[in-house]
């Protein structure tokens, strides 16, 4: 490995493993593991760039929540990577032994602090002593320093093996735009696609994360891990979302689902028909396979959701859908 050794910390719903005495809720890997060929790429490679293109201390542990903070509180994630899929895959790669990793059961309080952003201050009630205390950036850093000491002991016997046949990071893309939370012009707004290039669709409403999601497409910036989460309200509407052309990736038209509150951005929205419920159920079944620790058998591989159309066909589909909607007002 050349350059500074930096590590990614990912938190997730705990799983149990007979090899570990406590449920595992945290994984630490070398940044280069994000270039593992078994991870969704180029998303993993883009997260690698997030880890390595900012000044970091040698041996620094960077939680996903810190990346979220640096990406304008998560508003820029849709332009960078599907971190949820990457983290879920990372857990699988780690459990299969295809890279070196530290799997940890981090206790509730440090786990909570690490999951919050690096500037968050929380009031914590200690049940044991019945006292309240303020915990913030310094306590979070102390928890990360503890973990860094673990990593340093591990590395003393040899460097982390990031896996074999690593892919090349997607360096052909433009430099990453880091925008620590609260410093950008879009602070407090929905994610925007302002620096995506598309001459046809500058007036399209912003399409937030939620493409191919088995539930409401809406993107909720803060979640229990300081990471963006999907809206979990019941689905009531379906329609089309256009994912704009992004450097090298064609435009895509996707069927999307939404709750009663978040249906505004759906093109040609309508109530679900039986075939829509079937598709939603299929997407849900497939999404289940991305839960940490699960692998899908070769005989029944993971089938990710697919767009309805790509490229020019995507624009044509959206045009047709809009025409249909004009003929069916009030649906």
Q: Which is nearer to Zn ion, 61 or 216 (CB)?
A: 216
Contact 207, 265 (CB under 8 A): yes
Query: Closest distance between Zn ion and the C-beta of residue 247, in Å?
Result: 29
Nearer to Zn ion, 8 or 256 (CB): 256
Per DSSP bridges, beta strands 229-230 and 219-220 are antiparallel
Question: Which CB sits closer to Zn ion, 20 or 284?
Answer: 284
Phi, psi of 16, deg, nearest 5:
-100, 150
Find the shortest distance in angstroms from Cβ 308 to Zn ion: 21
List all residues 6 or more positions away from 103 whose beta carbon is below 8 Å from its beta carbon. 17, 20, 24, 26, 27, 94, 95
CB of 235 to Zn ion, least distance (A): 8
> Closest distance between Zn ion and the C-beta of residue 230, in Å?
8
In the complex with Zn ion, which residue's Cβ is closer, 46 or 218?
218
Give min distance, CB of 100 to Zn ion, in A. Answer: 39
> Which residues of the chain form contacts with Zn ion (CB under 5 A)?
216, 218, 231, 233, 259, 262
Residues 331 and 313: their CA atoms lie apart, in Å, by: 25
What is the C-alpha separation between 103 and 147, in angstroms, rounded? Answer: 11
Give the CA angle between residues 220, 114, 126 to the nearest 5°: 105
Cβ closer to Zn ion: 29 or 218? 218
Written as six digits, the tokens of 301 are 């591989």
Q: Smallest distance from the beta carbon of 75 to Zn ion, in angstroms? A: 17
Side-chain half-sphere CA neighbours of 37 within 13 A: 5
The residue among 42 and 74 lying less far from Zn ion, judged by its C-beta, is 74
* CB of residue 260 to Zn ion, shortest distance in Å: 8
Name which of 276, 233, 231, 263 is nearest 331 in CA terms: 263
**Closer residue to Zn ion (CB): 54 or 229:** 229
CA distance 77 to 221: 10
Q: How far apart are CA 169 and CA 166, in angstroms?
A: 9
């Amino acid at each position: 490995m050349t350059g500074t050794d930096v590590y990614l910390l990912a938190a997730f719903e705990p799983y149990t493993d007979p090899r570990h005495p406590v449920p595992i809720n945290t994984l630490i890997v070398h940044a280069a593991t994000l270039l593992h060929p078994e991870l969704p790429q180029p998303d993993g490679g883009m997260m690698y760039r997030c880890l390595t293109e900012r000044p970091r201390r040698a041996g620094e542990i960077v939680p996903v929540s810190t990346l979220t903070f640096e990406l304008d509180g998560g508003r820029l994630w849709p332009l960078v990577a599907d971190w949820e899929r990457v983290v879920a895959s990372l857990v699988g790669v780690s459990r299969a032994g295809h890279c070196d990793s530290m799997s940890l059961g981090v206790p509730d309080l440090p786990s909570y602090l690490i999951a919050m952003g690096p500037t968050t201050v929380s009031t914590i009630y200690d049940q044991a002593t019945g006292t309240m205390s303020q915990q913030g950036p310094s306590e979070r850093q102390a928890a990360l320093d503890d973990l860094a000491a673990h990593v340093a002991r591990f590395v003393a016997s040899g460097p982390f093996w990031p896996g074999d046949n690593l892919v090349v990071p997607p360096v052909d893309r433009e430099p990453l735009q880091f925008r620590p939370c609260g410093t950008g012009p879009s602070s407090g707004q929905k994610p925007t696609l302002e620096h995506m290039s598309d001459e046809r669709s500058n007036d399209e409403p912003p399409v937030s994360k939620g493409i191919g999601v088995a539930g409401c497409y809406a993107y909720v910036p803060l979640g229990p891990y300081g990471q963006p989460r999907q809206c979990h309200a019941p689905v009531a509407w379906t329609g089309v979302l256009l994912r704009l052309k992004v450097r090298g990736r064609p435009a895509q038209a996707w069927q999307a689902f939404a709750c009663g509150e978040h249906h505004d951005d759906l093109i040609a929205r309508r109530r679900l028909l039986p075939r829509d419920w079937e598709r939603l159920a299929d997407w849900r079944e497939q999404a289940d396979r991305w839960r940490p620790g699960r692998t899908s058998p070769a005989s029944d591989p993971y089938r990710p959701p697919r767009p309805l159309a790509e490229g020019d066909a995507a624009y044509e589909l959206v045009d047709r859908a809009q025409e249909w909607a004009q003929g069916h007002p009030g649906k």
